[in-house]
Chain A
Amino acid sequence: MKKIYALLLALMLASGYLFASGGQDTAAADDQGGEEKVKVGFVYIGPAGDFGWTYAHEQGRLYLEQQLPWVETITVESVPEGDAVRFIDRMVQQQKCDVIFTTSFGYMDDTVQAAAKYPDTTFFHCSGFKRSPNMGTYMGDMYQIYYLNGLISGALTETDKIGYVAAFPIPELFRHMNAFGLGIKEVNPAATVNVKWTYAWYGPDKAREAAEALVSEKCDVLGFTEDTPTVIEVAQEHMEKGDTVYALSHYSPMQAYGEDATITGQLTDWGVIYEQVMKDYKAGKTADLSNYDLLWLMKENAVELGASWDEKINGKYVDALKAKMIDHAEFGNISVYDLVMKRYDQMKQGREVFDPFTGPIYDQNGNMTVAEGEIASIGHLFGEMMYQVDNFATPLPQN
């Protein structure tokens, strides 16, 4: 018996790797003739069917294949962070990929390592800040959308407690949550942001329990960073029981999961970003990637406000937002709906017109992190932001 359990334990550990390596070769078989194809590999953090982050990338990959016939792609799903090199090895050596996209922040150091190991392969890492001659970065960042979500959430909350289910304490999360917090503060200075950390990008059960815990603490708007529509479901269930709990969709259009609960959300169109990267590659602009950082924001149409591609704000809540009037420092007496649309238009024109991270910004301890009148630098937002702004009620997570 003891032997069996020892073996069992070993196999259980081993099986984790096996599942992760369930790669998928989606390349077309009949790729002969015509111009030479560029083989592109995608490393995914979760299953392509998560209907969140990885699903959005998968849609982008499909769009890429459709738009650029000279591109053929392969994917590998559910690759653990911190162990991606093995998978990249296989993509380079066996599959002979020319270009590899690593689509999670946690692959950053592995991608750096792989880029040094394979100087003839071109790497692009999503959401990171480290680059090398053959490794560039790209991101469709939604912090501006988060800010708009914050404006809306701050207007709709009745308990003045807004919940957030967060994955990992990294700059990306703090950037998004802080933009959200700043939006909330702008319309409702009394409201607080309450965060629960799940330590998982893909963890529907963890996100569910974290969301339930937030609701039991009287949070009535839920935002989240997790790769499935679980939090939306939780809010919808509470709505159906007669409690008022709103939620914000994340990455993919999740309105169908909560027709009543979803107010709005953040959407990313990775397709246009991938298309641009591959066009740059084809045009030979990627010989030295040390400074290649394709950061697309609202201006470049990479991100959009909404829980579905059809409407920016759930039609059910448009009237409530139009009726909600606030006194705004810049625009005077204005409805929240108009404020959202004004800010939306401003941000569409670019960071210099309006940016949520315009000082003064204070962290939870009262330290000024962005000086009065200044716009936070991209470096600050993407590499240094490891604090929560002053309307967060929960402390930074302990380690």
Chain B
Amino acid sequence: MLEIITSILVRTVVAGTPLLLGTLGEVISERAGILNLGVEGMMSLGAATGFIVTFTTGNPWLGLMAATIAGALISVIHAFVTVSLRANQVVSGLALTMLGLGLSGLWGKPYIGRPLTTKMHAIRIPVLSDIPVIGKVLFYQDPYFYLSVALGILVWFLMKHTKVGITVRSVGENPKAAETLGINVARVKYLCVMAGGAFAGMAGAHLSTAYSKSWIEGMTSGRGWIVIALTIFALWEPSRAFVGAYVFGGIFVIQYVLQPLGISPNLLAMLPYATTLGVLLFYGMSKKGKRRMSAPATLGEPYIRGSR
């Protein structure tokens, strides 16, 4: 029994890692007022790039770097279209998803059926990893897990406690006021979208070089969309992104453990979505929650410089 519980927790953390990375990125982007529905595409591109670079160089860290850069680069398209051209963010994001999925499918084609010889190996932290249950869950994971936790804390700190965070949030809440303070709104938006892309690229690289060690078309399998749901679930707070990512990861994992109990698999597969609805309902009904539930004020709206 203990073994099964340990396994559930270990898998939860693994399944939650790409979700956490993606959600952190989307939180940054949406906090600056840019809704980016292209996560699925950026993630997929990251997965393909990460895989191809790892495959050719034999170094998964280079793969991670390449994926991060690829994610950031492709997101520039979204930033250009929505910030500079002030086009509809929903349409641009969806286009980005299709572009990313298409490009990754095209570039990845020669690599189908060729697994990596070296993948990102789990790092065992001495002493701590010997603690029963927790040791295996928290201190014997692949580097992406540690990276995602570190980045999560960093993003939370930046957003909550530094001027950078205030700048980003003010751009999303009231760009006009931000501009009067001398903030270059367009630049902040660009950088935030690119940060979002970089995070999504990392999440993709996790899928193709650590979670699995092969490139398969469509391997992101809807995680990009879950990330967008999670961003709402997290109420645009990096700290809640942790809760959301691991809850979703856990629910995903536990479906298969609960199956022998005779619970309908279809019902279990529904759990992540039912949970999101539940959370939104819960916050929607409480007064305090309602205030917190509001999205960044100008999310999805183009900002025209100097407009009133």
- A49 adjacent to B216 (CB under 8 Å): yes
Mark out the residues of chain B between 63 and 111 whose CB falls within 8 Å of any chain A CB in the assembled complex: 90, 94, 97-98, 101-102, 105, 108-109
Cα(A213)–Cα(B7), bound, Å? 8
Q: How many A-B contacts are there with CB distance less than 8 Å?
A: 122
The answer, yes or no, to whether B54 is at the interface (CB within 8 Å) is no
For residue A208, which residues in chain B have a CB less than 8 angstroms away from its CB?
Answer: 211-212
The answer, yes or no, to whether B306 is at the interface (CB within 8 Å) is no
Cα(A15)–Cα(B7), bound, Å? 35
A204/B94 contact (C-beta < 8 A), A256-B114, A256-B115, A395-B262 known? no
B-binding segment of A226-234, A363-371, A380-388: A226-234
For residue A212, which residues in chain B have a CB less than 8 angstroms away from its CB?
Answer: 7, 11, 253, 256
The answer, yes or no, to whether A55 is at the interface (CB within 8 Å) is yes
Mark out the residues of chain B between 247 and 281 whose CB falls within 8 Å of any chain A CB in the assembled complex: 252-253, 255-257, 259-260, 262-266, 269
For residue B295, which residues in chain A have a CB less than 8 angstroms away from its CB?
Answer: 1
A15/B216 contact (C-beta < 8 A), A196-B259, A213-B257, A215-B7 known? no
For residue B253, which residues in chain A have a CB less than 8 angstroms away from its CB?
Answer: 209, 212-213
Cα(A217)–Cα(B264), bound, Å? 19
Map CB proximity to A onto B32-44 as digits: 1 under 8 Å, 0 otherwise.
0001010000000
Q: Which of B11, B90, B265 meets A397, CB within 8 Å?
A: B265
What's the minimum C-beta distance from B70 to chain A, rounded to whole angstroms?
Answer: 19
- B263 adjacent to A4 (CB under 8 Å): no
- A7 adjacent to B7 (CB under 8 Å): no
- A1 adjacent to B300 (CB under 8 Å): yes
For residue B299, which residues in chain A have a CB less than 8 angstroms away from its CB?
Answer: 1, 4
Q: Which of A50, A213, A395 meets B217, CB within 8 Å?
A: A50
Map CB proximity to B onto A1-18 as digits: 1 under 8 Å, 0 otherwise.
100100110011001001
For residue B11, which residues in chain A have a CB less than 8 angstroms away from its CB?
Answer: 209, 212-213
What's the minimum C-beta distance from A213 to chain B, rounded to whole angstroms?
Answer: 4
Least CB separation from B296: chain A residue: A1
Cα(A1)–Cα(B89), bound, Å? 12
- B90 adjacent to A199 (CB under 8 Å): no
For residue A215, which residues in chain B have a CB less than 8 angstroms away from its CB?
Answer: 7
Cα(A19)–Cα(B224), bound, Å? 14
The answer, yes or no, to whether A73 is at the interface (CB within 8 Å) is no
- B219 adjacent to A4 (CB under 8 Å): no
For residue B162, which residues in chain A have a CB less than 8 angstroms away from its CB?
Answer: none
The answer, yes or no, to whether A210 is at the interface (CB within 8 Å) is yes
- B225 adjacent to A12 (CB under 8 Å): yes
Mark out the residues of chain A between 212 and 257 whose CB falls within 8 Å of any chain B CB in the assembled complex: 212-213, 215-217, 228-230, 233, 252, 256-257
For residue A395, which residues in chain B have a CB less than 8 angstroms away from its CB?
Answer: 260, 262
The answer, yes or no, to whether A32 is at the interface (CB within 8 Å) is no
9 A-B Cβ contacts within 8 A? A4-B35, A8-B228, A19-B101, A22-B102, A209-B11, A213-B259, A257-B115, A398-B265, A399-B264
Task: Name the 4 nearest CB pairs between A and B, nearest first.
Answer: A216-B7, A47-B217, A213-B256, A49-B217
